[in-house]
Amino acid sequence: MWTTDELIRQVTINCSERGLLLLRVRDEVRLTIAAYQTLYESSIAFGMRKALMAEQRKADMEQRIRQLQNQCEENEQQVRFPKGWLMSRSTGVVWCRVVYCGVA
């Protein structure tokens, strides 16, 4: 099997103009391949950065969802048991009504 360089060498022996054109074509192909390789590598790096950013955003959103759910639960407790009522957080049982005795 012949390499490209050997093929170009033999064509150049027969016709120097064709050989020079083949050299230019070979060099252009190499440059194009190198450019596509660089583009591929940078697109892989870009994709990885975007995936990591999306993962971070997902974790942030999940944390925000947990915070909002906790806030909703607290708000529901305040609606169910307005100020002045005591309740056990673990059992959810109402203990007593708190009476405020004080000077206004």
> Global pTM?
0.54
pLDDT tens track for 22-71 = 999 999 999 999 999 999 999 999 999 999 999 999 999 999 999 999 99
- In degrees, to the nearest 5, what angle opens at C-alpha 29 toward C-alphas 24 and 34? 125
- Phi then psi for residue 86, to 5 deg, are -105, 145
Contact 100, 84 (CB under 8 A): yes
